[in-house]
Every structure is written in C-alpha cells, then in structure tokens.
Chains A and B, each alone.
Chain A
Amino acid sequence: MKVLVPVKRVLDYNVKPRVKADGTGVDLANVKMSMNPFDEISVEEAIRLKEKGVATEIVVVSIGEAKAQETLRTALAMGADRAILITAEGEVEPLAVAKLLAKVVEAESPELVILGKQAIDDDSNQTGQMLGALLGWGQGTFASKLEVAGGNAQVTREVDGGLETVSLKLPAIVTTDLRLNEPRYASLPNIMKAKSKPLEQKTPADYGVDTAPRLKTLKVTEPPVRQAGVKVADVDELVAKLKALGVAA
C-alpha cells in the first residue's frame, strides 16, 4: 500500500510571528522555517505503517517555493521514500492545495493520504477535508490513533467532548492530531542518505490546476496587546482579588 503525505513549510513554531509594518502579512524574511509540526506527525505515522509492513512506499509532497525542498529532504531523512515538489510562488490556498493533491493522487494512486489537521501559519484546518470531498473518499480527521487492516482504516478522533472512533473504507484521508505519535529525529546517516533519494519537481501548470486565490487579504494587523497586570504577594491578597471580581463569596 502506498501512502501519500503532504508536508508544508511554515514559520517554526518557536518563533514569535511579527506583523510587517506595511500591514501586508507576517515577516518571513530571515526567520527559521520548519516542517509544519502536524506534518511531522503524519510522516512519522506513515513510517510506522511501513515498519509494521502495512505500507510499502511513502511519497511526500509539498506545494510552495523552491525552499520547500528542505522540508521534503527532512521528510526523506525521517524515512519517506521519495518526494514531489510543486513549486508555486506566493500563498496557495487550501482549496488549490487540495486540487493539486487530488491530481497527485490520480497519478500516484495511494490508498491513504495522511495530512496534518492544521497548518500553524494559516490555521485553516481545511485541506484534508477538502481533498476528501474532491476525491469522494472518507475522512478521519484529528486522529489520535490509526489502525489499517482488511481494506479499512479505523481512526480514533479527538473531538470536543472526548474521543470518537470511525471506520473508513480505503482509500481514505486521515488528518493527524498531536497525540497520534511522537515524531522521530532524523539521524545524521539518514540525512546524508536522504540527499540521494528522488525528488521530482513539478508546477501547478503540469497538473492543469488554477491556483489563483479566492480570498484577497486586505490587511494584516497586530492583535490588541494585553497589558501585564499586578503581582500579588500572597494567597490572602489573591483571595481578596477573587472576591472583588465576584467569583468567590
């Protein structure tokens, strides 16, 4: 079984985002970029499926600028087999990403596509579900457990009230949540090996997909800043404050 894992290059989660002074977006010049953390979890899950003998090949794909190659190499170093880079300038919205991924699925025929539940830059939480709709496949979103057997994927999902389990007919879409696994680090020898793994370069035009945005960003602003308040010296003072707030009798 082939597994497709889309990975996005995003601002590293440890970096505090800064809004550009001209209000056109967040400053991405000279800041650390990394693989979207949820996508690391997806890559890890695919590798575990391969180690269990369920998956036979892991293909990673990224849509973005040429530097997204680095992100793909990271995934290859973790254990993916080959990579596809679809180069596109500027922001590609989830709908367009999903359309490109649908074309990759058509060409590659994977039985499972594992995406992150959310990219930590746009915080959209859309792409996997959109891909499910375009392909007419079932979706197991926000997965904290995945079992593949007998032509089905059983997915335990993190939902608002707790956990829910669904069974999906393969081929299917899974989107990963934080508790699914803990991603491995790539070892130095594997980083070296990844350099010679195949990485194919494509463009949206190769797939005949229009990536023109449907949403126009009029401006990007800083949220209102909260002022730091006061420190109290002891519990008695805190109790007095809580009483003043009316939350304690």
Chain B
Amino acid sequence: MSVLVLVEHDNASVKDATLAAVTAAGKLGEVHALVAGQGAQAAADGAAKIAGVAKVLLADDAAYGHALAENVAPLVADLMAGYDAFVVPATSNGKNIAPRVAALLDVAQISDILSVESADTFTRPIYAGNAIATVQSSDAKKVITVRGTAFEKAAATGGSAAVEAVSGKGDAGLSSFVGAEIAKSERPELTSAKVIVSGGRALGSSEQFHAVIDPLADKLGAAVGASRAAVDAGYAPNDYQVGQTGKIVAPEVYVAVGISGAIQHLAGMKDSKTIIAINKDEDAPIFQVADIGLVGDLFKIVPELTGKL
C-alpha cells in the first residue's frame, strides 16, 4: 500500500503536526509526502529529512502559496491515482482540505483517527470523545485525518528522501487569499507544548487573563490556552481555545485555572498526562479528571504560586 501525506508547513519549514501523521501513515504502507506551496523548497527539504518518508512531492505554484482548499484538493485528487490512502494532520488546514479531496474521489473521510487497527479499520472519537468508534472503510481509497496527540511523532531528522517536482491545475479561480492575522509568540505552540496553562471565564477580563496566566506560564515555560468562554468574552484569542471544537492537546502537565470542566473542554485536554485544577468551587467537574486539585480563589492562588516557583 502506498500513502500520500499532506505536509503542514509555512513554505519555510515543516510544522510538527506533520510528524504524527507520518507515523500513522507508516502503519499503512510506504509514505510519500506532498508539499504544496509557493517558494516551498525549504519545506520540501525539511520533509525529506523526516524519518520514514520515502519520497517528497513538491508542487510549487503561486496557487498553492496560501493552501487554498479549492486549489490544493484537485492537485491531491489527481495525484491520488497513484496512492491508496491520503493522510492529513487534523489541523485547521488539514480539516479544510481533506474532505474536499474525499468528495472528489467519492470516498468517505475518516476524521481524527486515534489508531490504525488494520489497513481498513480505525478508531476515532465521537460525541466529544465520550465514545470511541471502531470503523471499517469499504472504499478503495482512504482519506484520513490524524489526531496529533494519538500518535508518536516521527523523527524530524534522519531521512534522506528525494524531492520530485509535480504540478497540478493551479488556480481554480474560486477563491483568493486576502490576509491573515497570525499571532507571533515566544511561547511554545499549544499542540506541541510540554506544559500548558489555560484560563477560563473566571479570569474576568483580558487584562486579568494576561496579568494572572502569563507570568505563571512564563515560569513554567508553558503555552497558554483558554476555554471557549474565555475566548468568546475576548480575554484570549481564538487560537487559544482548547476543546471539542478547538485544539486537542495532551501535554505532560495541563493547568486549568478558573475552568469548570464542561465536556466540550475536557474533550480537548483529558489525555494530558497530569492535570492540575485551580477552582474555587470544590464540586467543579474539572476535579473529576484532575490529578491534583487546589480549591480556592485563583486571584490569590496563582500569583502566590508564580511567586514561589
């Protein structure tokens, strides 16, 4: 079986999310990696170094520069003539493109897989991870998105695959990129951080969110996350949201500050190795999953904690 993996990148380098997808794909067969981008030679060279990648396909074209699904999906669908499976990290980019490819190939997509049971059978979470379904695909070709926290990361170095140029139809003329506001941060990325400090509605304002959460995160070298309530209220940007419909994380340590523990939030973090909860309500559901809990006022506890670290 041969598998095409979509590389997540910013034209200059490969993003970590790719590495778990390569591991999942490796369980199915020989892995080729597709870099679709513009001026993306450096990303292709990076992909060629990933352990387990046998070949890199580089589609370099202005039409692929911003990963518009309308342009990338037909490219992939054409390339799929030579592959049995298309495997994509379940990032916002992967989720945007993969179903479009599946529909072009007239196959079902298997979203967010947790494991590869066999060449056609996979497990995936449903109902915010409150149930795990084992599904068997009857389609000739598989289109799969991979939950990054469920697979080990392939080694980013050690491979030496050849890079081959490919081309597609280019611009489908349906959409264009207007702009982006991508936050630059010195902190580790949420989905690959070892430690995460997340704040909830209890933080009360953007100012207090930053004044209370940031110093603790700095002390722990942590990424910062948030509940939906905190994001909706504007205390934290949208890309901080952890949960069923936000990011899925599984760090070594997850510190939930003033977060109640709704099932939609738990869905995004309950696979963390150690969960620490700080909440003034001793009956908050977050304590049912927390390894270490501290009941009390976060505005007192967190500054004291930060001071003592």
Question: Size class of B's contact patch?
Answer: 35 or more
Q: Which residues of B contact A177 (CB under 8 A)?
A: 238, 245
Q: Which residues of B contact A132 (CB under 8 A)?
A: 69-70, 100, 103
Tell me whether B108 and A218 are in contact (CB under 8 A): no
Chain-B contact segment, one of A1-9, A12-20, A69-77, A186-194: A12-20
Some 7 contacts from A to B, beta carbons below 8 A apart, are A159-B93, A159-B182, A215-B137, A226-B289, A239-B308, A247-B194, A249-B309
Tell me whether B294 and A238 are in contact (CB under 8 A): yes
Q: Which residues of B contact A179 (CB under 8 A)?
A: 231-232, 238
> A213 vs B137: C-alpha distance in the bound complex, in angstroms?
9
- Chain B interfacial positions (CB closer than 8 Å to A): 66, 68-70, 73, 91-93, 95-104, 106-112, 121, 125-139, 172-183, 191, 194-195, 219-220, 228, 231-232, 237-239, 244-245, 247, 252-253, 263-264, 270, 274-276, 282, 287-295, 301, 304-305, 308-309
Tell me whether B287 and A228 are in contact (CB under 8 A): yes
Task: Give the shortest distance, in Å, between A240 (CB) and chain B (any CB).
Answer: 10
Cβ-Cβ contact count across A and B, 8 Å cutoff: 261
Tell me whether A118 and B245 are in contact (CB under 8 A): yes
Query: What is the predominant secondary structure among interface residues of chain B facing chain A?
Result: mixed
Chain-B contact segment, one of A44-52, A106-114, A161-169, A199-207: A161-169
Known contacts A120-B128, A123-B125; A169/B99 CB under 8 A: no
Tell me whether A94 and B92 are in contact (CB under 8 A): no
Tell me whether B292 and A219 are in contact (CB under 8 A): no
Q: Which residues of B contact A159 (CB under 8 A)?
A: 92-93, 180, 182, 239
Q: Which residues of B contact A120 (CB under 8 A)?
A: 127-128, 244-245
Q: Which residues of B contact A165 (CB under 8 A)?
A: 177-180
Tell me whether A223 and B125 are in contact (CB under 8 A): yes
Query: What is the predominant secondary structure among interface residues of chain A facing chain B?
Result: mixed
Task: Give the shortest distance, in Å, between B226 (CB) and chain A (any CB).
Answer: 12
Tell me whether B291 and A178 are in contact (CB under 8 A): no
Q: Which residue of A lies closest to B10 (CB)?
A: A161
Known contacts A122-B126, A133-B104; A158/B131 CB under 8 A: no
